[in-house]
């Protein structure tokens, strides 16, 4: 790459939506986008936490229609490009077209790591709309290297310009990232991306390993604002990469200032590794499940950690949020039987 060694996509206005119960308002998005644009961040992702069309009872209702947020972000940017996430089955090509008409420049088409084939229509439509198109393989820790490569090659064959390995649960260990990114780099001709979560306090370490092995597209979230314990913290990442003489083109001081002055006041609580987010990484469960598990735990008077560990054992993935209540109910009934037996 010419001007930059690594291209960063800022995800606080999408992944961060999980952390604040999808309550972004237009004025907040405008302030954050303006500051990111002035800091020269290449891409800014804006949409519901679960992507276009995600506002629902199952995934969480948005306070503000996501297209209003997207439109405001597009109009605010002078140089940054606005991106959206779309999970086929949640979002449709209809919503993708609306986003493109609003001025979005990048679409990230996300599937479970074993289901790349369902992305074909959406990747093709994104390319047809003239959008830079990213294949986004979620929960990548759940399959062996060979399967990951197979699925990435499918997304590349559909026309994806970039393919991401996504650590949705924050479950990867550095050696696992190293092995997988190296394999992807060897097999694919398109750019490789990496999206981390910090549930095991390894987002930065895993991101640096991914870059060392050839990933050139990296996700970050200012102030670590994202699902679970958040993502790789953008302002920290920019500083670390500067120390490593890796160019991002992003203004380090401006990133620190916007993190402290603009984004920090938006957080309902500081992003930190709590017992909830830690168990997500330990169990290998989708990071956005935490809020749903906590609600189910309260309803059924059980431990949210037990729910999440069981979801991990059952290999439940994004899109199966309805299973959370089922698991909580089952745990409550089993406990009642045990107590009755005593």
Q: Is 195 annotated as a binding residue?
A: yes
Q: Is 168 annotated as a binding residue?
A: yes
> For this structure, is 18 an active site residue?
yes
Q: CA 213 to CA 208: how far, in whole Å?
A: 9
Q: Is 197 annotated as a binding residue?
A: yes
Can you list the alpha helix ranges (DSSP code H) found in 84-219? Answer: 93-102, 120-128, 145-158, 174-187, 203-212
**SS3 assignment, position 236:** helix
Q: Is 286 annotated as a binding residue?
A: yes
In what helix (H) or strand (E) does residue 36 lie, and over which residues does it extend?
helix 26-38
In sign, the C-alpha dihedral spanning 22, 44, 230, 303 is positive
Q: CA 10 to CA 220: how far, in whole Å?
A: 5
* DSSP notation for 237-290: HHHHHHHTT------HHHHHHHIIIIIGGG-SS-----HHHHHHHHHT--TTHH
In what helix (H) or strand (E) does residue 328 lie, and over which residues does it extend?
helix 322-341
Cβ-contact 287, 197 below 8 angstroms: yes
**SS3 assignment, position 150:** helix
Residue with tokens 């800022």: 10
Enumerate residues 6+ apart whose C-beta is below 8 A from 110.
Answer: 51, 85, 86, 87, 119, 136, 137, 138, 166
Q: CA 125 to CA 84: how far, in whole Å?
A: 14
Opening angle at CA 169, ends 167 and 171, nearest 5: 75
Q: Is 108 annotated as a binding residue?
A: no
Q: CA 221 to CA 12: how far, in whole Å?
A: 5
Choosing from 18, 48, 112, 292, which is the catalytic residue? 18
In the annotated binding site for substrate, the residues are 14-15, 168, 195, 286
Question: Which residues are the active-site residues?
Answer: 18
In the annotated binding site, the residues are 14-15, 168, 195, 197, 286
In the annotated binding site for Mn(2+), the residues are 15, 195, 197
């Amino acid at each position: 790459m010419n001007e930059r060694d690594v291209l960063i996509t800022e995800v606080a206005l999408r992944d961060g939506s999980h952390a604040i119960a999808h309550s972004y308002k237009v004025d907040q998005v405008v302030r954050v986008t303006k500051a990111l644009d002035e800091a020269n961040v290449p891409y800014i992702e804006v949409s519901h936490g679960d992507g276009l069309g995600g506002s629902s009872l199952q995934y969480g209702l948005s306070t503000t229609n996501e297209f209003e947020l997207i439109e405001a972000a597009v109009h605010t940017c002078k140089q940054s490009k606005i991106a959206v996430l779309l999970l086929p089955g949640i979002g449709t090509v209809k919503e993708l077209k609306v986003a493109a008409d609003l001025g979005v420049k990048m679409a990230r088409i996300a599937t479970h790591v074993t289901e790349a084939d369902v992305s074909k229509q959406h990747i093709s439509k994104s390319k047809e709309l003239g959008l830079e198109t990213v294949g986004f393989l979620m929960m990548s820790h759940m399959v062996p290297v060979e399967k990951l490569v197979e699925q990435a090659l499918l997304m590349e064959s559909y026309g994806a310009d970039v393919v991401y390995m996504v650590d949705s649960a924050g479950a990867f260990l550095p050696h696992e990232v190293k092995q997988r990114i190296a394999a992807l780099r060897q097999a694919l001709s398109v750019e490789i991306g990496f999206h981390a979560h910090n549930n095991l306090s390894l987002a930065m370490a895993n991101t640096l390993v991914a870059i060392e092995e050839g990933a050139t597209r990296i996700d970050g979230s200012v102030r670590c604002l994202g699902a679970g314990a958040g993502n790789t913290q953008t302002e920290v990442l920019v500083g670390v990469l500067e120390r490593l003489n890796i160019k991002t083109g992003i203004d380090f001081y401006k990133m620190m200032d916007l993190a402290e002055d603009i984004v920090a006041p938006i957080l309902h609580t500081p992003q930190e590794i709590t017992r909830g987010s830690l168990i997500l990484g330990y169990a290998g469960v989708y990071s956005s499940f935490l809020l749903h598990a906590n609600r189910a735990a309260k309803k059924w008077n059980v431990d949210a950690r037990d729910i999440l560990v069981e979801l991990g054992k059952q290999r439940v993935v994004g899109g199966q949020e309805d299973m959370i209540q089922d698991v909580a109910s089952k745990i409550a009934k089993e406990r009642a039987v045990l107590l009755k037996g005593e």
